[in-house]
Structure 1
Amino acid sequence: MYNFPCSYFILLILIKIPTCLCTDDAQYKHCNKEFVCGDLRHIKYPFWGENRPNYCGKLAYKLNCVNNIPTIEIKSLNYRVIQVNYYVHTITLARMDYSDKLCPSRLVNTTIDFTSFNYTSGTRNLTVGYGCPLNMSHVEYNCTINNTKTNVTYDPSMLCKQYVVVPAFENVASDLDQNRTSLVDALGKGFELKWFVSDVESEQCKNCIGSGGTCGVNTSNNSFICYCYNGPSLSVCDKRPGSSKNDSLTIALAIVGAVIAGATIGWGIFVCRQRRRRRAIKEATPTKTESKAILNKLSNKGLGISDTSNFTSSIPPYPSPKTSGTSKEFGKSTYFGAQVFTYQELEVATDNFNDSRELGDGGFGTVYYGKLLDGREVAVKRLHENSFRRMEQFMNEVRILTGLDHENLVKLYGCTSKRSKELLLVYEYIPNGTVADHLHGKLANSSSSLFSWSVRFNIAIQTADALAYLHESGIIHRDVKTTNILLDKSFRVKVADFGLSRLFENVTHVSTAPQGTPGYVDPEYYQCYHLTDKSDVYSFGVVLIELISSLQAVDTNRHRLDINLSNMAITKIQNHKLDELVDKSIGFETNGLVRRSTALVAELAFRCLQQQKDMRPTMKEVAEILREIRNDDSDATKPVVLDILVDEDCLLKDDNTEPTSSDHGIKFF
């Protein structure tokens, strides 16, 4: 099916050469075994347990088999392991104490180890209430916990004596909201976590397996190690020695045979691919009926496309930067106005989606670096097969991005047809990582000297401009966070990932089940299911605090009251402790200008993070305020005294409100 290089055929032949009859290393034999329990099979590194000793996997990923049920313990809670997906590094779990009932022995919230796992974006927390009013309509269950009878509900609006937070798949939670499933069934289907294995470690494990070894861990320093038939190795295994005097001749014949077979198979694959490419291009062209329906939909959304004759016409070929002559023409059809690529083109561009080209992985897709035949560098997003509503995400992102044009929004070059073998999106390649990478990720140490306050401040302005443009275009981003803010080599912003975005037209809110990333979700949206442009403002407020502090939006290693960065920031600001929040490396304590502008940005972030949406500024106002801070040179050398007036409920007052004796002033000096 795939055109593997001849070296792979040679390797396959060499593997078949008889090996010596010496005894294999014990660690190699143990780690070469798979964890098998119930329906869970083919489980290897980084997981261990049962017949796989602790040196066969990472410490946090121990599996157990209890009554033929695979389990894992995280933060003192036991979970049933439903599925492990090595392709996207996700594991589906369900709490054991909620597997078939709603009456656990102890009422405790679900907490995970964020150093080893993280929630995927297809997950939503359910609030289970205990000891709720008996006259409420959604009370469905009765339990006896600690010899006390209590009634149970899943409705977070009820005033119950105690609540427990349990994650669930977002689509299952939506079914529960609409009474299409029960709470027991919803929790029984579990939720999804992504496990962490670094790019370096993934490459090491891949090379180890390729050399005939099996992956494991050096328990003395918790580092990766490759277990081979003749003992551990830091990288790859040596070849097994041959057992006959004719090894050289055997290898030579194998190589010659592999070359001939490879050439024959390669020619056959080439012919098949050409046929598939012509068929895919033909299938990618929308019919007249489809074109008309799509155009009517876009016209209703105000995206300005009205000429059906132009919708399916060929777009001009993209000029090759390496040649001055005629360049090749790629996909001659468009989809929502975006160029349609064939799956085969993008397969070649990404070297068959080689793991070494992976740029990042999110809840809905993995992004790969690619290079088109015309020389363009691209980022190809490959939607997960098991992601929920992936077709909706795919069409949503194409529809929105083709109607936008802003220097701080990532450009969509095109996509595959929705009839393609896989759903792929093709963006411009942004080479300098994300804001999160530079603040507290893989680039934090290497870029600390370059990521100055002035760079961060410009990032804030450019991101605000992009979001204000979206709102003016009638679009709510819905997933604003530092991992979705890309940076080019000059640290210019490109806001990305519009899979959750929504169009809105002259409405006060959009009712929808809460989606987004923990730590960035508007609390009013979470409580009331009312999505507005002010939800993006709240998320941007969290981004501003990240730029000021270099801290993560959610970190379970912090004090329990500070796990959520927005809560931590509001507390620090109200208690006149901004200096405890600010990253010392930006010069807050040594540079007066930095101190002044940082304090002003902190005040703006405080306004964005208000619990009630009406108390927050619009995104346009946010962008204007940031520009005023940058341009306010006349008072730049004066000491800054900022008053943030909050009432007893910690809500920011209007500028025209006179302070009373009950107001608390927040000042930055």
Structure 2
Amino acid sequence: MTNEEMSDIEMIRKKVVDEWGVMPYFHQPFNLDESPDWRYPLKLIPESGHLQMLQRFLDTCDQFKSFDFSIKPMKAGGVKLCSYSELQQITDFKRFSLETLSGRLFRGTIREGYEERPVVVKTCDLLLPYRDGHFERLPKFCDEIELFMDEKANTHKNLAKLYAFCCDKRLAVVYDENVTCRLSDVFLNDDFGWDLRINVATQLADLLSWLHEKRIAVGSIIASCIMIDEEVNIKVFDFGFVSNHVNEDSKIPVEFFIGREAPEAIKGKRTMKSDVYIFALLLLELVTKKEYEYKINYLVERGEKKLVDESFKTVDDATAWEITKLISKCMVYDPNERPTMKEVFDALKAMRARGEKRKRAESEAE
């Protein structure tokens, strides 16, 4: 296949993963400046060892100073390839630094003519010291770019809109979204009520069901991967390892663990049903109002105790048992026995509709 015959994403993957590799990205001076824990993992090494490693890093940075990161200009699926200098015009990498599965979030601003609007920049970080798994971040980055550039799959309202991406010196994406907060910022709060939680869960189930229909599995989604606006509409912007063009029964190799995983991943394989398990963990956090702990698996699998937190006074007993059973089904050990995401979405949608009908009836009775 010639360069002219390659799709844009194939060209990006060939350059970033196959030709360039991780070293040109790792050996950038800003990776030293931004590292929050340069000394911590190396604290048993004498100070002289730190200085030697630091000097080797800086020397190698000099070798990569003139590295050619150029890729032909492209704009596919409404998504623009930008240079590092253009990325710096969008953000100064100082505002709103929040951790993601493989990098951080920053606030930014894009300018188009006289218009300015806020955006979010997500980096794929290769901070010091060098860690196992850094190389896996390159194909992960390309897989996410492929998802967001796929016009058959990227139109869902709960998927963040990708405006631009950068492969020059730093791997980063620019989302045309204005973050108010993330789900992880509020899901433990008492004023984040039951209806809001079921609304969030239903939206996420709808998105995952939609992506599965488009033959896309997403690996891992946790509360910090989800933006929410003032109307509690969600936008998912971060994933584990996206697997494009798979089927329901496809076995997806596990290359590296990022985020939470289903039990079959320990054996080296995922399926779309692994997404069902991961979704159930997030749903479990929403209804229990607690961060997930592995020891709760025993209670979930037995399904003998209602999982809904007692503070949700408006939740009737039937609903509490219904959602407990749903979570239990999604978390069974054998992935073949789990429901599909479409079945999960339908169950949550019906549950929400019954809750709204019951509230209307109670209101009319008053």
**TM-score relative to the length of structure 2:** 0.71
Q: CA 1:390/1:543 → structure 2, altered by over 3 Å: closer, same or farther?
A: closer
Aligned 8 A contact 1:480 1:539 in 2: yes
Work out which of the residue numbers 258, 262, 270 in structure 2 matches 1:516.
258
Match of 1:391 in 2: 138
Aligned 8 A contact 1:464 1:619 in 2: yes
Match of 1:368 in 2: 106
For 2:257, the aligned partner's letter is Q
How far off is 1:491 after superposition? 0.8
Distance 1:634 1:478 in 2: 32
Does 1:582 find its partner at 2:312? no
How far off is 1:392 after superposition? 1.7
Match of 1:347 in 2: 88
Work out which of the residue numbers 566, 584, 589 in structure 1 matches 2:297.
566
Aligned 8 A contact 2:100 2:225 in 1: no
CA displacement 1:619-648 (0-9 Å, x = unmatched): 0010011112122369959xxxxxxxxxxx
How far off is 1:566 after superposition? 3.4
Does 1:453 find its partner at 2:240? no
Match of 1:479 in 2: 220
Q: CA 1:549/1:494 → structure 2, altered by over 3 Å: closer, same or farther?
A: same
Q: CA 1:538/1:479 → structure 2, altered by over 3 Å: closer, same or farther?
A: same
**Map 1:39-438 → 2, pairs under 5 A:** 87-90=34-37, 93=41, 283-286=70-73, 333-334=74-75, 338-350=79-91, 352-354=92-94, 357-374=95-112, 375-386=116-127, 387-403=134-150, 404-416=154-166, 418=167, 420-438=168-186
CA displacement 1:588-630 (0-9 Å, x = unmatched): xxx354x433332221111101011111100001001111212
Distance 1:402 1:626 in 2: 29
Distance 2:123 2:355 in 1: 47
> Is the partner of 1:603 in helix, strand or coil?
helix
Q: CA 1:85/1:439 → structure 2, altered by over 3 Å: closer, same or farther?
A: farther
Distance 2:81 2:125 in 1: 19
Q: CA 1:412/1:371 → structure 2, altered by over 3 Å: closer, same or farther?
A: same
Aligned 8 A contact 1:514 1:525 in 2: no
For 1:401, the aligned partner's letter is F
CA displacement 1:559-588 (0-9 Å, x = unmatched): xxxx444345445x32x3x2xx4333322x
> Is the partner of 1:368 in helix, strand or coil?
strand
Kindly indicate which of the two structures has a greater share of residues assigned to helix.
2
Match of 2:286 in 1: 547
Kindly indicate which of the two structures has a greater share of residues assigned to strand.
1
For 1:396, the aligned partner's letter is D
Gaps of 5+ in 1: 1-83, 97-278, 287-332, 555-562, 638-669
Q: CA 1:485/1:542 → structure 2, altered by over 3 Å: closer, same or farther?
A: same
For 1:525, the aligned partner's letter is A
Match of 1:610 in 2: 332
Distance 2:223 2:242 in 1: 16
CA displacement 1:500-538 (0-9 Å, x = unmatched): 111143453123335232xx3111222x22210000000
Aligned 8 A contact 1:486 1:493 in 2: yes
> Is the partner of 1:347 in helix, strand or coil?
helix
Structure with max Cα Rg: 1
Aligned 8 A contact 2:101 2:240 in 1: no
Aligned 8 A contact 1:434 1:487 in 2: yes
How far off is 1:341 after superposition? 2.2
Aligned 8 A contact 1:544 1:602 in 2: no
Does 1:525 find its partner at 2:251? no
Count of residue correspondences? 294
Distance 1:537 1:497 in 2: 17
Distance 2:101 2:353 in 1: 39
CA displacement 1:50-88 (0-9 Å, x = unmatched): xxxxxxxxxxxxxxxxxxxxxxxxxxxxxxxxxx97724
Higher relative CO (CA 8 A, sep ≥ 6), structure 1 or 2? 2
Distance 1:633 1:87 in 2: 48
CA displacement 1:356-378 (0-9 Å, x = unmatched): x1341234212110011231211
Aligned 8 A contact 1:432 1:489 in 2: yes
CA displacement 1:268-305 (0-9 Å, x = unmatched): xxxxxxxxxxx99xx4435xxxxxxxxxxxxxxxxxxx
How far off is 1:438 after superposition? 0.7
Aligned 8 A contact 1:608 1:617 in 2: yes
Aligned residues with identical type, % of pairs:
26
CA displacement 1:4-47 (0-9 Å, x = unmatched): xxxxxxxxxxxxxxxxxxxxxxxxxxxxxxxxxxxxxxxxxxxx
Distance 2:287 2:356 in 1: 23
Distance 1:88 1:473 in 2: 38
For 2:207, the aligned partner's letter is A
Does 1:627 find its partner at 2:353? no
> Is the partner of 1:470 in helix, strand or coil?
helix
How far off is 1:481 after superposition? 1.6
**TM-score relative to the length of structure 1:** 0.41
How far off is 1:345 after superposition? 2.6
Distance 2:180 2:356 in 1: 35
For 2:34, the aligned partner's letter is Y
How far off is 1:475 after superposition? 0.7
> Is the partner of 1:505 in helix, strand or coil?
coil
Distance 2:295 2:207 in 1: 25
For 1:608, the aligned partner's letter is C
For 1:285, the aligned partner's letter is K
Aligned 8 A contact 2:79 2:165 in 1: yes
Aligned 8 A contact 2:100 2:224 in 1: no
How far off is 1:344 after superposition? 2.0
Aligned 8 A contact 1:430 1:487 in 2: no
Aligned 8 A contact 2:211 2:217 in 1: yes
Aligned 8 A contact 2:105 2:121 in 1: yes
Distance 2:319 2:271 in 1: 29
For 1:622, the aligned partner's letter is V
> Is the partner of 2:350 in helix, strand or coil?
helix
Work out which of the residue numbers 600, 605, 612 in structure 1 matches 2:322.
600
Gaps of 5+ in 2: 1-30, 45-67, 128-133, 360-366
Distance 1:635 1:618 in 2: 26
> Is the partner of 1:596 in helix, strand or coil?
helix
For 1:624, the aligned partner's letter is D
